[in-house]
Amino acid sequence: MVVKAKTPDEIAKMRVAGRLAASVLEMIGKHVKPGVTTDELDRICHEFIVDELECIPAPLNYSNGPGQPPFPKSICTSVNHVVCHGIPSEKKALKSGDVVNIDVTVIKDGYFGDTSKMFFAGEPSVLAKRLARVTQECLYRGIQQVRPGATLGDIGHAIQTYAESQRFSVVREFCGHGIGDKFHTDPQILHYGRPGTGSKIVEGMTFTIEPMINAGKRHVKLLPDQWTVVTKDHKLSAQWEHTLLVTSNGVEVLTLREEERSSAVA
CB 105 within 8 A of CB 176: no
φ, ψ for residue 98 (rounded to 5)?
A: -65, 145
Is the omega angle on the peptide bond into residue 8 within 30 degrees of 0, that is, cis? no
- Model confidence at 3, pLDDT cuts 50, 70, 90, reads confident
- Asked whether residue 3 is domain-assigned, the answer is no
User: Residue 141 domain-assigned?
Assistant: yes
118 located within any domain: yes
Residue 159 falls within a domain, yes or no? yes
- Residue 50 resides in a domain: yes
Calculate what percentage of the chain has a pLDDT beyond 70: 99
The residues, any chain, with a CB within 8 Å of residue 90's CB and separated by 6 or more, are 37, 39, 40
Q: Which domain holds residue 58?
A: 8-251
Q: Name the pairing type of β-strands 176-178 and 185-189.
A: antiparallel
Angle at 42 between CA 39 and CA 46, to 5 degrees: 140
Q: Is 263 contained in some domain? A: no
> What predicted TM-score, i.e. pTM, was given to this entire model?
0.96
Mean pLDDT within 8-16 = 98
Number of compact structural domains in the chain:
1
How far is it, in rounded angstroms, from Cα 4 to Cα 6? 6
Say whether pLDDT at 163 is over 90. yes
In a domain, 258, yes or no: no
Residue 119 within a domain: yes
- CA-nearest of 126, 120, 154, 159 to 33 is 120
Q: Would you mind telling me the total number of residues written for the chain in this entry?
A: 266
CATH, residue 108 = 3.90.230.10
State the Rg of the chain over Cα: 17
pLDDT digits (tens, 9 = 90+) for 204-254: 999 999 999 999 999 999 999 999 999 999 999 999 999 999 999 999 999
